[in-house]
Structure 1
Amino acid sequence: MVRITESLIRQRAEHNNCEIFSLEEISLHQQEIERIEYIDKWCRDLKILYFQNNLIPKIENVGRLKKLEYLNLALNNIERIENLDSCEFLKKLDLTVNFVGELTSVESLKHNVHLQELFLVGNPCCEFGGYRKFVIATIPQLKSLDGKEITRSEQLQALQDYPIVQQEVVEQQQAYILKRTKEKEALQKSSEEKENNKLDHRQNIESKQSNSDEEENKHETNLDEDEMNRKFWEEPTNYTPESRLEVHRHIEKIRKFKDKDKNQDKQKPRRTLITSEGRVLNVNEPKIDFALTDDEENNQFILDLAVYRHMDTSLLDIDVQPTHVCVLVKGKVFQLVLPGEVKPDSSSAKRSQTTGHLLVTMPKTQEVVKAKPKSTSRTRSATSTKPHTQATRTTQHSEKLEVDPSKCLSADLSNIVAERKSVAQGPFKFHQQKEPGRISDDFQDNPEVPPLMD
């Protein structure tokens, strides 16, 4: 049963910015509604109300709609016209294809002085003799009945024949009411028999389940359901409110049954991540690229997972185990077996702000001890004829000078730099250094001149 809710009304009031207090028109057709409720409390300013093609059996809860001008209740299960006398401004009432059999109930519309149009075509009361004359004489303010204009002469003739027509209508109405009572009793008896048959059918299915395998039993159950569905549509029934409601219930049941089968077919079997023997499997459900790097220098594994760039980080769930790493990407599993054991507590994860990639760093449990590269050295003798000691290096290995501190207590700083004569420089012109041991041609040695000081 579909109920009228505030969310449903707001959804149908999009043209009014989803505001319901000032709503003047609303359409609630084809919603499988079985009762009119809350409309007169939430939408007091309604002028036009559409309720066609639902399962409403009674006109109710519309008395407070003082501004209502048009009410459409076509294709419902209404059997009596009532509870509309408070709708003071009602101008048009549509009850096409309902089950109105009490034609005398149209007398309740006398107080709707503004009512001009009435539609009752498709109702059982339309088959009564004198139907049109009775309605025209009962509701004198009408201008049109079932889409046909009421003329002045037709109205006068209906008023003249009203006493005779009224008696005929009452007799036909009583016969119809008696017929409806018998139909309800027969329908109630038939529904009880169907319930008993369903109970027996369920017991047979349960007994078969205990004696047959699941696939065979499922096949037989589907055959039984198809057989019952075929019999339901082939069985002749009268067109009554109860039969219309039963058809609706049956269609809804079949629809739910098909939706259930579709959901079961869509559900995939759960993927195996770890076998029964305890072997961890590699899984890549999201089908994304990845790279696993063995960083020997830092003794760790680095997993680079190419996660979608614009995906929110809250949709990622990372689980690092000693032998494998598992990442949930939007509910899909990515699992990778590691080539060695790692430390889950020391592992870390970070995400790139530019590419969106997920970088998981996992330190190894066993630390690798590396051998340091060997260096060669040569000892130079201190007794060298040269003024200073020079350390020679090869192109492949660096050499270091080893000094015995017991033999050399202090360093001789005078031999570190080669002795070089200073060259005097003039204020405007630099003098070139003369080569040692070379004497110019115009040089004259004067023994009285003292030697220059260094």
Structure 2
Amino acid sequence: MVLITEDLVRRRSEHNNCEIFSLEEVSLHQQDVEKIEHIDRWCKDLKILYLQNNLIPRIENVHRLKKLEYLNLALNNIELIENLEGCESLQKLDLTVNFIGCLSSVESLKHNLHLQELFLVGNPCTEFEGYRQYVVATLPQLKYLDGKEIGRSERIRSGQGLKEVRRLIHQQEQEYLRKRASERQKSQEEGVEEVQQEPKKPGFDGRWYTDINKTMPVPEDNTENQVREEKERKSCPTSDHQEREFWEKLCAFTPESRLETHRHLERSKKAERRETEKMPKAQRTLITPQGRVMNVNEPKLDFRLTEDENNNAIVLDLEVYRHMDTSLMDVDVQPTYARVTVKGKIFQVVLPAEVRPDSSTAKRSQITGHLVLTMPKALCEIKAKKTTPTAKSSECSNRPEEKTRKGNREERLEVDPREHSMVDFCNIVPREISSGEGSLETSGKRLTTTTEQTNFSDNFVDDPDVPPLI
């Protein structure tokens, strides 16, 4: 039996910072809840309450919810509409697919003056003759019934012959109540038969012996018992046969059958859970027999593996839980891989280069709580350092002429010093071999020059002390 606890309500109120006293909307659907309780005392400001697809048999403990506007109780085991008079602000009530057979219980909704929408689809009362006419005439404040708008003409017609319709509804209710009584009695008898046919535990005959001198059988070894039980379970598929027989059995759709189905599913889940707990878990392969290290992420944590070029190291940023205690983590750094154990779950990653475990460090980030592993590389690589320009050079580089000169300058490759170890002074000044018009001959070379005709004035005097203008 699942109860509505404070922890359950807080987990369902994450949108309100887990504060339940000021909660206006809460969803408790599909929780197998069997009783409405505590909600009207913890969440008095509640406006929307979702309780669909549970096992609730009765509407109760909601009369303090004065601000409640929408109540969803679809797919439950409710048989009577009651205890909603205190919900003064109720505007929408959903009772789809329940077991409401007493249609006259809708008269309790007369006090809900703001009620505009009512859903009763899937209930036995909807099959009664005159169902819609009776509900429309009984609740004049309604605007929609089962999703269909109530027009003015329909409201006028529903008031005609209401006395006869009420008599007809009362007769159908009595027939349904007799049918329900027989179904309830039949389910109780079947429950008693199942209890009587329940097999007794082996080794116990229903009597308690107090004679200490009576010889008792010596218990066998537990290991041998487990092996024998496993063989019997495999050879005799009794459980599978009972499971198939349960689901193939024909039964009426009643609150008891729905509750029994839920109980059966719970028993099946518990049995499966016990079997899985008995089965030994397969061990995770961290390193293969061939020596290959595997990548493993059992805690399913996000991570980032980067290289720090300035410090020549590999950095692993593992996004562990922020509020987790550091004592729950264990770090193991090897030359080719790093392994972190988080609450018994292993995270292992292969490193792109060999590192030095003795120089590695592990720290927790004070902001994010992440685990940061800094692992220096074992084989250091020589990398060029970036030179920072001085103030004077930076001023010169800011000049437009300097920028243009640097931009137009061509980068040249280095010359092999083995081929040109000395400067050739022989070819610095060309040696004249023969004179010609505008030509100079050197040993093995001929250099052609262009002569320019210069026009001097008549008063020009060549002073040897004045250097030439070049």
Shorter-chain TM-score range: 0.5 to 0.7
Q: 1:150: which partner in 2?
A: 150
The TM-score with structure 1 as length reference comes to 0.58
Q: 1:188: which partner in 2?
A: 188
1:11-410 counterparts in 2 under 5 A?
A: 11-200=11-200, 202-203=201-202, 214-221=226-233, 223-267=237-281, 312=326, 354-355=360-361
Letter in 1 for 2:230: K
Cα deviations by residue, 1:258-306 (Å, 9 ceiling, x for unpaired): 112112214579xxxxxxxxxxxxxxxx99xxxxxxxxxxxxxxxxxxx
Deviation, structure 1 residue 240: 0.3
The TM-score with structure 2 as length reference comes to 0.57
- 2:328/2:343 contact within 8 Å kept: no
Letter in 1 for 2:243: N
Structure 1's 131 and 203: CA in aligned 2 closer, same or farther, altered over 3 A?
farther
Partner secondary structure for residue 118 of structure 1: strand
- 1:87/1:112 contact within 8 Å kept: yes
Give the distance between the partners of 2:232 and 2:194, measured in 1 at CA.
Answer: 20
* C-alpha RMSD of matched pairs (Å): 3.5
Deviation, structure 1 residue 217: 2.9
Letter in 1 for 2:118: L
Structure 1's 193 and 137: CA in aligned 2 closer, same or farther, altered over 3 A?
same
Give the distance between the partners of 1:82 and 1:204, measured in 2 at CA.
Answer: 51
Deviation, structure 1 residue 11: 1.0
Deviation, structure 1 residue 150: 0.8
Deviation, structure 1 residue 213: 5.5
Give the unaligned 5+ runs of structure 2: 206-216, 284-292, 295-315, 321-325, 331-340, 345-356, 363-372, 374-470
Letter in 2 for 1:40: D
Give the distance between the partners of 2:281 and 2:159, measured in 1 at CA.
Answer: 70
Cα deviations by residue, 1:363-402 (Å, 9 ceiling, x for unpaired): xxxxxxxxxxxxxxxxxxxxxxxxxxxxxxxxxxxxxxxx
Structure 1 stretch displaced more, 79-88 or 10-19 = 10-19
Cα deviations by residue, 1:33-86 (Å, 9 ceiling, x for unpaired): 111111000100111111111111000010000000110000000000000011
- 1:205/1:221 contact within 8 Å kept: no
Deviation, structure 1 residue 117: 0.5
Give the distance between the partners of 1:112 and 1:314, measured in 2 at CA.
Answer: 56
Structure 1's 37 and 313: CA in aligned 2 closer, same or farther, altered over 3 A?
closer
The alignment covers a number of residue pairs equal to: 293
Give the distance between the partners of 1:239 and 1:97, measured in 2 at CA.
Answer: 11
- 1:33/1:55 contact within 8 Å kept: yes
Give the distance between the partners of 1:268 and 1:89, measured in 2 at CA.
Answer: 57
Partner secondary structure for residue 198 of structure 1: coil
Give the distance between the partners of 1:148 and 1:203, measured in 2 at CA.
Answer: 60
- 1:79/1:100 contact within 8 Å kept: yes
Give the distance between the partners of 2:110 and 2:42, measured in 1 at CA.
Answer: 27
Partner secondary structure for residue 199 of structure 1: coil
Q: Quick one: percent identity of the two aligned structures?
A: 52
Deviation, structure 1 residue 352: 7.0
Give the distance between the partners of 2:317 and 2:102, measured in 1 at CA.
Answer: 69
Partner secondary structure for residue 18 of structure 1: coil
Give the distance between the partners of 2:204 and 2:268, measured in 1 at CA.
Answer: 19
Structure 1's 331 and 238: CA in aligned 2 closer, same or farther, altered over 3 A?
closer
Cα deviations by residue, 1:178-229 (Å, 9 ceiling, x for unpaired): 11111111110101111122235x459999x98x964343343462211111
- 1:309/1:355 contact within 8 Å kept: no
Q: 1:302: which partner in 2?
A: none
- 1:119/1:146 contact within 8 Å kept: yes
Q: 2:462: which partner in 1?
A: none
Structure 1's 165 and 215: CA in aligned 2 closer, same or farther, altered over 3 A?
same
Give the distance between the partners of 2:266 and 2:30, measured in 1 at CA.
Answer: 14
Structure 1's 265 and 84: CA in aligned 2 closer, same or farther, altered over 3 A?
same
Letter in 1 for 2:8: L
Give the distance between the partners of 1:154 and 1:103, measured in 2 at CA.
Answer: 19
Give the distance between the partners of 1:331 and 1:94, measured in 2 at CA.
Answer: 45
Give the distance between the partners of 2:317 and 2:146, measured in 1 at CA.
Answer: 65
Partner secondary structure for residue 79 of structure 2: coil
Letter in 2 for 1:141: Q
Considering only CA atoms, is the larger Rg found in Structure 1 or Structure 2? 1
